[in-house]
Amino acid sequence: MLALLSIFQPNAIFTSPSRLCQITQQYWNKGGKPFPITKILLAGEPCSASQRSQIRDFWETEPHNLYGSEETDGLAGSCSQQAGLHFMDDLYYLELLELGTDKKVPDGKAGEAVITSLYSEGTPLIRYRLGDIIEPYLSQCPCGEKWPRIKVIGRSQQAFFLYDGIKLHSYQIRSALTSVYPELDLYQAVLRPGDDGVDEVEIMISPAITDTSQGMLEAIEETLWSSSLDLAAAKDIGKLRFRIASDEEMLMTRRGKTPELIDLRHGNEREFLKRNSG
């Protein structure tokens, strides 16, 4: 990858945040910025505040985020003042529904994104479920832009399927983590089979979080166990355990994304690389 970049010396780059952080770290290890890049576009996954600052500090230019899907292309772009993403409501109509229902969430609450394309003639999308959970901002953006502001929280269907049909959703993990670390932007949970027959969910949190006292980690674990009746019962049976770490490198797919949930019970470790970011 670095060899190709050195040959072409691009002045613009369009990739995922995880991939660019990996490239940035490699150039950092080699001694610094190899050539100037003036435009950076990021897409494919949410960009955390720590990833954004790592990229901005190294390349000395503000990265722009795009949010979209395979079916729609771009739906929203980052605000010039980094106050969220601006949704292009002149091209798409956005509804936010309660998970698994057709009921709208109350104003200002996060919900599953359902979109209707207003101008697509060849492939119209009518009330199409994107599978993403989006939270809207109700206040006017400080940048003055008229497009509404949104925040992408994660995928609605993302979950570990544990024994006996017990599910652990990504939003349950995120909500347990943010109950203790409200500023947390990035995490990854990896499910592995333990040698002792007990499945282990290792939760890696952003290295930007430095205060990881035992009490705080135990509070997160307790919130996770009590986040559903099934999990509370699983705790007593002893077929699952949690481990929370802030000093482990997260895993990245070979396509350059850092998924929130990775299930490694089926011997698929080779699909992932160490993210190697600071």
Site residues, Zn ion (CB under 5 A): 79, 83, 141, 143, 145
Shortest distance, CB of residue 94 to Zn ion, whole angstroms?
A: 16
Contact partners, residue 167, CB within 8 Å, separation at least 6: 159, 160, 161, 228, 230
DSSP label at residue 60: S
Q: Of 229, 228, 258, 224, whose CA–CA distance to 241 is shortest?
A: 224
Chain centroid, CA 275 distance in Å: 14
Q: Which residues contact 267 (CB under 8 A, 6 or more apart)?
A: none
CB of 79 to Zn ion, least distance (A): 3
Which CB atom, from 80 or from 179, has the smaller least distance to Zn ion?
A: 80
Q: Closer CB to Zn ion, residue 141 or residue 264?
A: 141
Q: Which is nearer to Zn ion, 144 or 197 (CB)?
A: 144
Tell me 127's DSSP state: S
CB of 82 to Zn ion, least distance (A): 8
Nearest to Zn ion of 83, 219 (CB atom): 83
Q: How far is the CB of 43 from Zn ion (least distance, A)?
A: 18
Shortest reach from residue 178's CB to Zn ion, in Å = 23
Q: Which is nearer to Zn ion, 62 or 222 (CB)?
A: 62
- Classified as helix, coil or strand, 161 is strand
Residue 185 to residue 204: CA distance in whole angstroms? 12
Which residue's Cβ lies closest to Zn ion? 79
Residue 65 pairs in a beta bridge with: 42
